[in-house]
Structure 1
Amino acid sequence: MSRAVIRRSCVAGVAALSLTLLAACSDSGGSESEGDSGGKTPTLSAADLEKVALKDGDVEGHKVTEPTATVDQKDVEPGSDECAPVAYAMVGSVVDEPSATVQRETAGEIDPAEAAKSGGSSGLDVTRVLLRLSAYDSAAAQSVMKSLNTSAKACADGFKVTVDGTTQDVTKVSTATAPEGADEAIAIDFVSEAEAAKIPMKVVVFRKGSTLGYFTALNLASAATGKDFEFPTEVVEAQVKKLS
Structure 2
Amino acid sequence: MRATVVRRTALAACAVSLTLLATACGGSSDADTDAEAGKNGKTGNAADSSSSAPKEQAKALGAAELEAVSLEQGDVKGHKVTKAGPDDEVPGAGLKADKEACLPVVHAMSGVAADGSKATTKRKVVADPVKGAEKSIEDMTEGAVEDAMKAAFDLTSTFVALNAYDGTAGPDAYAAVKKAAAECAGGFTATVAGDEQKFVSITEEKITGGDEAAAWTLVQEDGKEKIAYKLMALRKGSTVATFFAFNLTAGADGGAKFALPTEVVAAQAKKLG
Q: If the TM-score is normalised by the length of the shorter chain, which range does it land in?
A: 0.7 to 0.9
1:72 — aligned with what? Answer: 91
1:93 — aligned with what? Answer: 112
Scaled by the length of structure 2, the TM-score of the pair is: 0.78
Question: CA distance change for structure 1 residues 230 and 3 in 2, over 3 Å: closer, same or farther?
Answer: farther
Instruction: Report if the CA contact (8 A) 1:138-1:209 is conserved.
Output: no
Question: CA distance change for structure 1 residues 65 and 4 in 2, over 3 Å: closer, same or farther?
Answer: farther
Inter-partner Cα distance in structure 2 for 1:12 and 1:23: 15
Inter-partner Cα distance in structure 1 for 2:240 and 2:105: 14
What is the Cα deviation at residue 88 of structure 1? 1.4
1:38-57 matches, cutoff 5 A: 38-57=55-74
Scaled by the length of structure 1, the TM-score of the pair is: 0.86
Inter-partner Cα distance in structure 1 for 2:115 and 2:10: 33
Deviation per CA, 1:98-157: give whole Å up to 9, x if none. 111111001111243355496464221100000001111130111112212211111111
Question: CA distance change for structure 1 residues 4 and 226 in 2, over 3 Å: closer, same or farther?
Answer: farther
2:129 — aligned with what? Answer: 110
Inter-partner Cα distance in structure 2 for 1:115 and 1:241: 33
Question: CA distance change for structure 1 residues 107 and 17 in 2, over 3 Å: closer, same or farther?
Answer: same
1:10 — aligned with what? Answer: 13
- Alignment partner for residue 222 of structure 2, among 182, 190, 194? 194
What is the Cα deviation at residue 37 of structure 1? 6.0
2:164 — aligned with what? Answer: 135
Question: CA distance change for structure 1 residues 204 and 40 in 2, over 3 Å: closer, same or farther?
Answer: same
Q: Does 1:217 align with 2:240?
A: no
Look up the equivalent residue of 2:5 and give its one-letter code.
Answer: S
Deviation per CA, 1:17-38: give whole Å up to 9, x if none. 44422537xxxxxxxxx99665
Look up the equivalent residue of 1:217 and give its one-letter code.
Answer: A
Inter-partner Cα distance in structure 1 for 2:159 and 2:69: 16
Question: CA distance change for structure 1 residues 159 and 72 in 2, over 3 Å: closer, same or farther?
Answer: same
Identity of aligned residues (%): 33
Aligned residue pairs, count: 234
Question: CA distance change for structure 1 residues 60 and 84 in 2, over 3 Å: closer, same or farther?
Answer: same
Instruction: Report if the CA contact (8 A) 1:9-1:195 is conserved.
Output: no
Q: Which moved more, 1:200-209 or 1:106-115?
A: 106-115
Q: Which moved more, 1:149-158 or 1:65-74?
A: 65-74
Look up the equivalent residue of 2:12 and give its one-letter code.
Answer: S
Alignment gaps of 5+ in structure 2:
28-50, 136-143
Q: Secondary structure of 1:82's partner?
A: helix
Inter-partner Cα distance in structure 2 for 1:156 and 1:36: 21
Q: CA RMSD in A?
A: 2.3
Inter-partner Cα distance in structure 2 for 1:78 and 1:170: 11
Q: Which moved more, 1:11-20 or 1:192-201?
A: 11-20
Deviation per CA, 1:163-208: give whole Å up to 9, x if none. 1110101110111102x23101110110011131001000111000
Rg larger in 1 or in 2?
Answer: 2
